[in-house]
Structure 1
Amino acid sequence: MNRRTKTVVLGVTLVLTAAVATGSAAASGDDHRREAAALTGTAKLYRSDGDDMTFSFDAHLATKDNDDPLKATGTFEWSHYRDGHGAWARAKVNCLVTGGKVAVVSGVITDSDLPGAKGKQVGVTVDDLGRHDRLGYSWAATGTPVETGDMPKCVSSAPFEKVKQGTGDFTVVPWQPKL
C-alpha cells in the first residue's frame, strides 16, 4: 500500500472508532437519564353512540425512584360529553406502574366540574398498542368516579375501551424494578 492510501485508511479508521466510542457513550448515558416509567399522550375513545371522551396523561417515575411507584409525579385528565352534557376532571398522579406496553396510573382528583369528584381516588389503565390503543378506568362499573368509594392507589380496570382511530398517541415507558 502506498503512503497516501495508508493515510486515508488510518484516517477513516480513526473517524469510525471515534464515532463508535461516542455512540456507545451516548447510549450508556441515555440509560442513566431514562425515566424509570412513564405514561404520556392524548386520545379520544371510540363510542358508537357519539360520546366525546378524551384522556390525556403526563405521568412519570424518576429513575432515582425506581423502587417506589408511589413516588410518581404528574397529572392526567379526562372529559366525557354527550349531547352537550358531561364533565371533566384532572387528577394528581400518586402511583404509576408499567409493564411492557401496559400502564396503570392512579391519582386524586384535584379539579373537576363533576359535583363530589374532588378528592376522589381514581385509576386508569392504558394498553399502548400503536394505532389500536386501549383504555380502562376504575369507575367503569359504577358510572362515575364519585360512586367508586374508597380505592387504593395503583388500581384500575382492564383496558376495555378502544381509542378512536387516528387520535391515539399514548406512549408507555416500561418499568423495570429490581426484583
Structure 2
Amino acid sequence: MRYVRSNRLRAVALTAALLATATAGTAAAAGDGGTESSESAESAAGGKPVASADRGQRPAASLAGTAKLTRSLGDDITFSFDARLAAKHNDDPLQATGTFRFSHYLNGEGAWAEADVDCLVTGGKVAVVSGVITDTDLPGAKGLRVGVTVHDQGRNDRLGYSWAATGSPVEDKDLAPCVSSAPFEKVKRGTGDFRVLPWQPEL
C-alpha cells in the first residue's frame, strides 16, 4: 500500500489509515454511579466478549462507539472501539480488555488494522487507549502497539493517534502503553457516537 506524502498532515491522513469500518454493536456504558445500559458487548472487531467476568457490573472505565473522521478530499477513515477496564481492576489500567479497529481509504488505496486493548485510562470525557495490532494489511504493523485518544463531545467528538507525528504506526516500534496524541482530528458530522465512561481511581 502506498501513502501520499505531499506534506506531513497528508501523510498522517493517509497512514492514519487503518481504521476499520465499524462492525458489530459495542457495549454502551451508563453514566457515573449507574449500571451498564447494555450487558457486555461483543467486541467491535470480532464478536469476542469483553470483561465477561464483570457482566452486569459497572466497569471502572470504558470506551465504545464508532465514527468517521472529517477529510476534505473524501478519505474514508473510521475508528471503532469496544474497550473497558473491569471494576475489579480499578487500580490497574493495564488490565483493560477489548478491541479497537481503524481503517483509512482514498481512491481505492489504504489499509486497516485491529488491535487487542492493553491499556485504558479515562478522565472526564477523554479516553486514551492502546493495543497491540493483531490483524492488518499494513506491512510491518502487526505486533506493534498503537494508541488512540478520544474526546467525547456528543456530535462533535475529536480523536488523535500515536502516529500523528511520524505519519505511520510502523514508525512507532517502542510505544509504551496508553500513549497517544492530543485529539486534534474532527469527527465527520453525523457519525460521532464515541462514549467515554470516566475512571475513578482511589488516589
Task: Give RMSD over aligned pairs.
Answer: 1.7
Counterparts in 2 of 1:83-94, with a 5 A limit?
83-94=107-118
| Identity of matched residues, % | 74
The whole-number CA distance in structure 2 between the counterparts of 1:163 and 1:54 is: 9
Structure 2 unpaired stretches of 5+: 1-31, 37-55
- Matching residue of 2:39: none
- Matching residue of 1:175: 199
1:121 aligns with 2:145: yes
Tell me which of 70, 88, 99 is aligned to 2:123: 99
> What's the TM-score, normalizing by structure 2?
0.73
- Matching residue of 1:45: 69
Shift of 1:149: 2.5
The whole-number CA distance in structure 1 between the counterparts of 2:76 and 2:160 is: 15
Counterparts in 2 of 1:21-100, with a 5 A limit?
30=35, 33-100=57-124
Structure with more of its chain in helix, by fraction:
1
Counterparts in 2 of 1:128-139, with a 5 A limit?
128-139=152-163
29 and 37 in structure 1: CA distance in 2 versus 1, 3 angstrom threshold: closer
Equivalent position amino acid for 2:77 in 1: M
> What's the TM-score, normalizing by structure 1?
0.82
Shift of 1:156: 0.2
Shift of 1:89: 0.1
**Alignment size in residue pairs:** 153
Structure 1 unpaired stretches of 5+: 1-26
Deviations 1:86-138 (A, max 9, x none): 00000000000000000000000000000000001100000000010000000
- Matching residue of 1:18: none
Shift of 1:30: 3.7
171 and 28 in structure 1: CA distance in 2 versus 1, 3 angstrom threshold: closer
Give the secondary-structure state (helix, strand or coil) at the position aligned to 1:54: strand
Deviations 1:3-61 (A, max 9, x none): xxxxxxxxxxxxxxxxxxxxxxxx98849921100000000000112111000000010
